[in-house]
Structure 1
Amino acid sequence: MIESILIADTATYSGTPESLCDLATFNFIFGGNATGKTTVSRVIANEDSFPSCVVSWKGGTRLQPMVYNRDFIETNFNQSNELKGVFTLGEKNVETINKIAAAKIELDSITKKIETLTRTLQGEDGTGGKKGELAALEAEIRNKCWAQKQKHDAKLQGAFEGFRNSAEKFKAKVFQEWAANSATVETLTELEKKAESVFGQTPTTEKLTPGLEADAMLAHEGNPILKKRVIGKEDVDIAAMIKKLGNSDWVREGRGFYDVNDGVCPFCQQATAEAFAQSLNEYFDEAFEADSKAIDDLVTNYRTDSSRLQQQLSSIIIDPSKFIDIEKLRMEKDLLDSTVTVNIQKLTAKKKEPSQVAELQSLGNVLSTIKGLIDASNSLVVKHNTMVANLSRERRDLTAQVWKYLLEVELKVDLDSYKTKRDALNKAVDGVTEQIALATKEKNKTAAGIRELEKLTTSIQPTIDGINALLSSFGFQSFLIAKADNGKCYKLVRADGADAKATLSEGEKNFVTFLYFYHLLKGSDSDSGMTTDRVVVIDDPVSSLDSDILFIVSSLIKGLFEEVRDGKGHIKQVFVLTHNVYFHKEVTFNPKRRGKTMTEETFWVVRKSGLVSKIEKHDCNPIRTSYDLLWGEVRKPDHSNLTIQNTLRRILENYFKILGGVDPDAICTLFDGKEKLICKSLFSWVNEGSHYAHDDLYISVDDAVVDAYLQVFKAIFEKSGHLAHYEMMMAST
């Protein structure tokens, strides 16, 4: 049976979808003309034609929908001169009938098995069961994957490009990488550092830091002149004295003044012999002068080379590479500057006193450290520039490394747990699905067997006999159903055999079409299929019928209800849709109902506001008319003696005007004496022409008189053949 119906984006159903949920065995839908009732019946009849609508079947088992609406009338009556024959099972072939019954029991058992398996697979509403567990597992791992995206998005979003706005897409990407990612696992710190350049603004190449020209500086430190004591020639007569005094540098200094003082000693101011000047010249010979010049050159070169080196370092510091440790470089330059200053002081002293040994502080360590800083920086520059030159590959590699990190570090435990649970659930789903497939195959085989058995014992003649019997009993004598020439269809004929289809009134046409549908419910329009379970929809069957037929149709439908309740036949669920208040009252009557809706039924009202249809569910029968209220006054044990007469008159007027063709005088002749007078009094509205003439008409009566009126009132329905309506209304709640 149908559990729920969702209607959206079709006909007058627009905007918010409308739903009929928790449907029962009997479902009554009331609504005015053109409110959207027929759309409901059409969706049930052919849900595949309404892709935006959903019909949910219990256990996923779809039954045969059999729908009576104006489409049915158009298809079966207006578009063809003949009606398809209704095949029913013959009753004489007992053995075949018993085989069909046994096969039907087996078919029902298989169907229940499929429904049970389907519930195991997907739950009652299609969202539970093993598939529901699997969906919940997928949602859980999706959320865990998405949590990692949110955790690392700020720094690693470049790796997530294309998957950052959808948790489902992000999860799918995780699974894709899970199956194929072979990248190396890097630390998060390393990944974030790489991401700054690879995923940041499109980077540009960086220039290399030039190396220092420091070889000359290091060579100066090993110049042999530094350790050489530069003194004069030792075999000159004054050499012994100079050596004894150790004042070679002092003498050399004074010699400069002596040479310009015309042979007078600059210290004692005494004139010297010519031999003294010669001795000085011989003492400070060419070797001495050469060494002195070597010292002078060393001082000059050291100053020049150190200045050049310091300028190179300053240039690097002013415009440093972003990869160099600039603070460390500044510290090393400060150390180099101070060392150079000390060495220049030592060289200056050596120049002043060539005879003294000088030793420079080595720049080897500081220059080595600076070179290391430059080399390290340049190595990173080379890698960076290589990355820039191969940016697409670098981004691809880093992206793979980021996903690998998520897989192997952040999500490893979750993914391993997910895989274990998923594999178990998939195995269960596959197992149940296979069982359903096997059971469905068995069901189809059994159903095919039933169809073959049905072909052995079917006939369209019982339907002819049944429809004609009903037509005759209801006073339709001018036409009947006959078998068409092909032996498989029906035709409508007059008593003389002439074709009656074109001359039927609207009411006759609708009535015979309904009778045809009524018998079709008990059979099939082919020579098989009459034992298939079905859902019946009856949409406005009394649109053009008179009152007699209204009650006949309602009685036939209520007879179907009883068959369903008793488990007879193959109807499992019924929908009745109408705009006729009195038909709705008749067809929904149930003496067992007490106020609230029974578990076997649901009530719905369809309304249209602003060209949009809305469906409302009610927990009790929502249709209560002024006619119902009049009967309510009669049912009251403490009804008013002053107004009861007019209440009874109004009921008779409403009811018998609806029926039409009722002769009140003929009914009154069925009574005698005082009862006849009471009957005429109650029917007095006929002569007055309007009950309004009696709205305020009452006489003072006692309880005995009221009881007499009530007895005659009941007898009127009984003697006119409408006692069932009286009993229904008196029992109504």
Structure 2
Amino acid sequence: MYLQPPFDNESSTCPFCQENTISHGIVQQIENYFDETYSCSIDQINHFLSRYSLALEQIASLDSYKSIPFSIESLPKLTEFHGKLTKNLEANARSIEAKKNSPSTSISLIDTRNDFASFNEFLKGINEKISKHNEKLDNVGAELDKLKQKFWGLMRWEYDQTISALEAQVIRSNQRIVKSNEREKIASDIITSKKSKIALLQKSTVNIDDAINNINEGLVQIGISDFSIAKHNDSLYKIVRLANSTAEFSSLSEGEKMIISFLYFCELCKGKRSAEEVTGKKVAVIDDPISSLSHIFVFNIGRLIKSEFFDSEDFEQVFVFTHSLYFFYELADSNHIKRKESQKLFRLLKNNMGSQILKMSYEEVQNDYHSYWSVVADAAQPPALIANCMRNIVEYFFNFVQKQDLNNVTRRPELQGSRHQAFCRYINRESHSLGQNIFDYKEFDYGSFREGLKLIFEVTGYIEHHEKMIAVLGK
């Protein structure tokens, strides 16, 4: 029986005589009567109980194991091991609790070592599956290659007969191609020999024949065959259009004039202006040679500049100016190492403050849409250019990207205030690609136009796009 100590100086009831005779002194005498063995035994029981309680707490619930995909297929076995282990641990905990309440009672605990070993071995198998899966994720490229090899191996086996027949046909076709190439080479050598003889004969006549030949060959390489040039006298050329030997230079289109002028420029750079001129290193400046040209000639002009100027040792420096992004990418060396060694990139900027030449990296080159945002963000740009770029931004985004009518966009009630009327009037103008239809400069206010542009994106639900473009390209 457990003896309850009294509170403070009071006496408590004796469990035997039911009188208030139990004082602190009597309790102390009774406790002194017993030795420390009893207390040690109680402490040991409490220690065992704490260990079992901790073990029970550390074992995850069955639901937590069920949430792991790799344990689903082994769920019955997992439930069995988990249930047996927790059941035995709980039974031992109850036995220890009973021993604590009745120290004199003898108890026997269930040996759970095998239960733990079996459960841990089972979990080890699941963990191995997880580890293998993680290894595959860490080497996803190699695993995909294995799948591809298996797939194409299967395909190869299924279509072996078709593939074998195709391979045999390819071999026969390649043999015929080799023979055709041999015949073509023989014919080409004959043509080259004849051309060499013609060129030698022409060199013996006048000095400008080489230039005429080179210009005409350049026209053919570019893809122009309906006109050529011929010698007019010892120092002049003339245009020959098909059978018409009296065609004039004015009969050519702007693009044709640009091409033949550029070819003449190439020949002029290779030669001398006079017989007395001393040969030396040259500097060539080429200003937008593809203006007025169809896009189909951009590649040819780019190849010609590379072969005649970039790859030539006769030129110390070559400056090329262009507005065309396509032409820029055609001339810029795609190999960043070679580009760094032989090319330098610059951006020429013009605004109300003057002109600037700034160094530029290859990665800074933007498309037209990004360039519009850069202009809009620069308050020093001419008002007509800023307003026109705003018009291009709004039309591109809403007409082409979001498929919205531009007129409906600017009719939103939020844009009808007097502050944004000038902005809306310009955005709604029919012609937007030319600056000459810009309103009176007194009507342009940079702040209100910037607010109007932002408001359009805000009321249409695309304010994040506006903020992103300003953050990346603007100010």
Question: Normalized against structure 1, the TM-score is what?
Answer: 0.22
Higher helix share goes to which structure? 2
Larger-gyration structure (1/2): 1
Q: Which has the higher contact order (CA 8 A, sep 6+)?
A: 1
